[in-house]
Amino acid sequence: MLVVSGKRCSLVVLRSPGPMYSVRLIAPPRSGRASIRGGRITYVSRPRYLGDDHFIFARDGKDEMYRPVTWTIEMNVHVKERL
């Protein structure tokens, strides 16, 4: 993910083959904030921070055979002064 320092950037977690029950933050970013509302994850860096950051989130749901499954995703973020 490429973001501008101090500006919000969002991504939407897409549905899986089976139902998706929740999205949750596993490890927060060190140089910013990540928040989750429904299937939308929003990241914002600290003001004037430039460089790399990352956070980890998980999706809980069911696979195509309706078995419980958790997907864990590490999101790498590169924070720049401008795009």
pLDDT in tens, 19-69: 777 899 999 999 999 999 988 999 999 999 999 999 999 988 888 788 888
Residue 18 pLDDT: 67
Q: How far is CA 32 from CA 29, 39, 40, 56, in A?
A: 6, 19, 17, 13
Q: Which pTM does this prediction carry? A: 0.85
Question: What's the full length of the chain, in residues?
Answer: 83
The span from the CA of 50 to the CA of 17, in Å, is: 37
Q: Identify the structural domains of the chain with CATH numbers, from first to last.
A: 2-80 (2.60.40)
Rounded to a whole number of angstroms, the distance between the first and last alpha carbons of the chain is: 12
Q: Cβ distance 40 to 12 under 8 Å?
A: yes
| 83 confidence band (pLDDT: 50, 70, 90) | confident
